[in-house]
A and B are shown apart, each in its own frame.
Chain A
Amino acid sequence: MSTLFQPLSALTGAPGDGAGATHTFPAGQPLQLDSGEALAPLTIAWNTYGSLNAAKSNAFLLCHALTGDQFAAGIHPVTGKPGWWASMVGPGLPIDTNRFFVICANVIGGCMGSSGPHDIDPATGKPYGLSFPVITIRDMVRAQALLLDHLGIESLFCVAGGSMGGMQVLQWAASYPERVFSALPLATAARHSAQNIAFHEVGRQAIMADPEWSDGDYAAKGTNPRKGLAVARMAAHITYLSEAALHRKFGRNLQNREALSYRFDADFQVESYLRHQGLAFVDRFDANSYLYITRAMDYFDLAADYDGVLAQAFRNTKTRFCVASFTSDWLFPTAEGKKIVHALNAAGANVSFVEFDTDKGHDAFLLDVPEMFQTLRGFIDAAAQARGLRGAKV
């Protein structure tokens, strides 16, 4: 079992102190899942930044992507590195923590404190492993809605997120339109494509092919499928970049050597980089969580819940949307963003659509793209004005 999961209880504290908080709902209050099963007890780990105003009108929910977590801004307490959206969220930044009460929760199925397959199954007294129920994006969003109920927050000023986070944003807007004043789905799609399901299946098979995975029972057996999870991460990481960005960063440059080795060492810098990405990942992520969360993304098809008509998901919506995509993102290409925009237009929604010109690929939404900061700041400020949120301090 990874050492990662041991210190999480030590992270529990008051929200807003940078260490996050957890809440376990009573066993009699289970989370009803799309699969038909119920998850109890439900635990949600979250973190907050900034403070809630008296009218409770400045809550800003962030939805994290596949391998993200609740530590979106500032320095991550486990890795010691900046949070996944530290460039976007903070004092004076586009998602201004002097102005907004920013909430980010670890998704269920995750491995940073919310209920997931590494938890102890109360029915058996042993870690769930593969007996943890399969969860969906909608289940993740339901759990977040329960958290907001617990925090006494009726309505969100904004819900924002990229990639899988963007899927949650769309699900929020469809499931709880009256609770979402504005929505910012980035680098995302209303359904997971066949190509993206295929990439996920490669990752899952890599994990399951590792003998240490032990049919998902590695926590009980004292093993850890590090190699399988690292390969899954390496394959996925390629899809987060672009051909142009890989070429710009690495070209065919050799790693710490003058000539080809004629062996299978990491001759090329790009190989060394990917190996590093894989190894760094296994120290902070759980293999079974990777299986469950990728499955949730694969199952996502928002229109399917609305007779196949995406516009029906947003019927009569009053939410203000800004959909954004990136030119070099081939995992969630601009065409997917446009499908969302077309549906929102057909629903008569208030929608903006921006595409940012960058060679940074899918991960661009996490990176330094000045035009993105400037444009999203404009959308957020205008929405804040419409909401009656004024000034930097509320």
Chain B
Amino acid sequence: MLAKMPPLRIELQRIAEMVPASARVLDVGCGSGELIEYLARNKNVDARGIELSQHGVNACVAKGLSVIQGDADTDLAEYPSGAFDFVILSQTIQATRQPKSVLAQLLRIGKGVIVSFPNFGFWKVRLKLALTGRMPRTGALSHAWFETPNIHLCTIADFVALTQAVDAKIERALAVEEGGDVRELSVPGYWDNLTAEGAIFLLKRRPGMQAPA
């Protein structure tokens, strides 16, 4: 029924590895559904998606995936607390209007939260800004400043500070290097913030954390 799937891009493979079989998963900003399709077919995951673009949603549903049209900034509030084992926000947090409240909602909805994002502290980004004086454009950040959907870019250090602000516990942190190699970070430090092109974090709610209003 479903066509053969192309291989997942490496970052999505790493995220998929974090999800145990038969988990309940919500992918926020699921695009055309590659990750949830992979999880549903290979790990028997009960996978759902939210996607902003109606075109992407219809394509997902036509593939047999459970996806709704929705906006991470406004539509997460309707989900009950603890509804999912994992909520995934892949390459999307930097495009939300309210990253802090989105992250807080994700921690409320999911028992685990997986977030991946491009690292604005990557040395090539810093060097381009320093040397050219123009907003940097790299492989991971390819848009011109005036048309980019990425309105809230951050560095790994910034993101770590945000996890503290929303009282989340960092279970795992992965640095994604240019070319896709991934290495485990025990404590993300200055060097990682300079050398990683992107990062993947697995967060958990701290016990007793208050649900956001």
Question: Do A322 and B61 touch (CB < 8 A)?
Answer: yes
Question: Do B48 and A379 touch (CB < 8 A)?
Answer: no
Q: Mark B22-63, 1 if CB is under 8 A from A, else 0.
A: 000000000000000000000000101000001001101111
Question: Do A348 and B66 touch (CB < 8 A)?
Answer: no
Is residue A342 contacting chain B, with contact meaning CB distance below 8 A?
Answer: yes
Contact segment of B75-83, B94-102, B162-170? B75-83
Is residue B16 contacting chain A, with contact meaning CB distance below 8 A?
Answer: no
Question: Do B57 and A353 touch (CB < 8 A)?
Answer: yes
Min distance, Cβ A258 to any Cβ of chain B, angstroms: 45
Query: How far, in whole Å, are A350 and B78 apart by their CA atoms in the complex?
Result: 14
Question: Do A350 and B48 touch (CB < 8 A)?
Answer: yes
Kindly identify, within residues 155 to 185 of chain B, every residue whose CB is under 8 Å from any CB belonging to chain A: none
Dominant secondary structure at the A interface: helix
Question: Do B54 and A355 touch (CB < 8 A)?
Answer: yes
Query: How far, in whole Å, are A309 and B65 apart by their CA atoms in the complex?
Result: 27
Kindly identify, within residues 336 to 362 of chain A, every residue whose CB is under 8 Å from any CB belonging to chain B: 341-342, 345-346, 348, 350-357
Contact segment of A15-23, A115-123, A295-303, A370-378? A370-378
Question: Do A379 and B68 touch (CB < 8 A)?
Answer: no
Q: Mark A378-394, 1 if CB is under 8 A from B, else 0.
A: 11011001000000000
Is residue B150 contacting chain A, with contact meaning CB distance below 8 A?
Answer: no
Question: Do A354 and B80 touch (CB < 8 A)?
Answer: no
Q: A346-B78, A348-B83 in contact; A379/B58 too (CB < 8 A)? A: no
- Choose among A320, A346, A385 the residue that contacts B80 (Cβ–Cβ < 8 A): A346
Min distance, Cβ B134 to any Cβ of chain A, angstroms: 38
Question: Do A341 and B80 touch (CB < 8 A)?
Answer: no
Interfacial chain A residues near B66, Cβ < 8 Å: 320, 350-352
Q: A357-B54, A375-B58 in contact; A351/B68 too (CB < 8 A)? A: yes
Min distance, Cβ A147 to any Cβ of chain B, angstroms: 30
Question: Do B1 and A352 touch (CB < 8 A)?
Answer: no
Interfacial chain A residues near B83, Cβ < 8 Å: 348
Query: How many contacting A-B pairs (Cβ < 8 A)?
Result: 65
Interfacial chain B residues near A355, Cβ < 8 Å: 54, 57-58, 69
Residue of A nearest to B55 (CB): A357
Residue of A nearest to B1 (CB): A381
Question: Do A354 and B57 touch (CB < 8 A)?
Answer: yes
Residue of A nearest to B40 (CB): A382
Interfacial chain B residues near A378, Cβ < 8 Å: 61-64
Question: Do B78 and A354 touch (CB < 8 A)?
Answer: no
Is residue B199 contacting chain A, with contact meaning CB distance below 8 A?
Answer: no
Query: How far, in whole Å, are A189 and B47 apart by their CA atoms in the complex?
Result: 26
> Which of A322, A346, A352 has most chain B Cβ within 10 Å?
A352
> Which of B1, B75, B79 has most chain A Cβ within 10 Å?
B1
Question: Do B54 and A381 touch (CB < 8 A)?
Answer: no
Question: Do A353 and B80 touch (CB < 8 A)?
Answer: no
Question: Do B64 and A382 touch (CB < 8 A)?
Answer: yes
Determine the interface band of chain B, counting residues with CB < 8 A from chain A.
20 to 34
Q: Mark A2-25, 1 if CB is under 8 A from B, else 0.
A: 000000000000000000000000
Is residue B67 contacting chain A, with contact meaning CB distance below 8 A?
Answer: yes
- Choose among A342, A351, A381 the residue that contacts B64 (Cβ–Cβ < 8 A): A381
Query: How far, in whole Å, are A331 and B48 apart by their CA atoms in the complex?
Result: 29
Min distance, Cβ A346 to any Cβ of chain B, angstroms: 5
Query: How far, in whole Å, are A385 and B79 apart by their CA atoms in the complex?
Result: 27
Question: Do A356 and B58 touch (CB < 8 A)?
Answer: yes
Q: A352-B66, A352-B68, A381-B1 in contact; A375/B78 too (CB < 8 A)? A: no
Min distance, Cβ B203 to any Cβ of chain A, angstroms: 21
Query: How far, in whole Å, are A353 and B64 apart by their CA atoms in the complex?
Result: 12
Question: Do B65 and A382 touch (CB < 8 A)?
Answer: yes
Query: How far, in whole Å, are A341 and B67 apart by their CA atoms in the complex?
Result: 11
Question: Do A379 and B1 touch (CB < 8 A)?
Answer: no
Query: How far, in whole Å, are A371 and B54 apart by their CA atoms in the complex?
Result: 12
Query: How far, in whole Å, are A151 and B64 apart by their CA atoms in the complex?
Result: 30
Query: How far, in whole Å, are A348 and B75 apart by their CA atoms in the complex?
Result: 14
Residue of B nearest to A346 (CB): B78
Q: A341-B68, A357-B54, A385-B1 in contact; A352/B61 too (CB < 8 A)? A: yes
Interfacial chain A residues near B54, Cβ < 8 Å: 354-355, 357
Interfacial chain A residues near B69, Cβ < 8 Å: 353-355
Q: A354-B57, A354-B69, A375-B58 in contact; A345/B64 too (CB < 8 A)? A: no
> Which of B60, B62, B70, B83 has most chain A Cβ within 10 Å?
B62
- Choose among B61, B75, B79, B80 the residue that contacts A379 (Cβ–Cβ < 8 A): B61
Kindly identify, within residues 276 to 322 of chain A, every residue whose CB is under 8 Å from any CB belonging to chain B: 320, 322
Query: How far, in whole Å, are A352 and B68 apart by their CA atoms in the complex?
Result: 5
Residue of B nearest to A378 (CB): B62
> Given A345-B68, A348-B83, A350-B66, 6 more contacts at CB 8 Å?
A320-B66, A348-B80, A352-B67, A354-B57, A382-B1, A382-B64
The 7 closest A-B pairs by CB, nearest first: A382-B64, A378-B62, A353-B68, A375-B62, A352-B61, A342-B78, A345-B78
B residues apposed to A, CB below 8 Å: 1, 46, 48, 54, 57-58, 60-70, 75, 78-80, 83
12 contacts between A and B (CB under 8 A): A342-B78, A345-B75, A346-B80, A352-B68, A353-B69, A354-B57, A354-B58, A355-B57, A378-B61, A378-B63, A382-B65, A385-B1
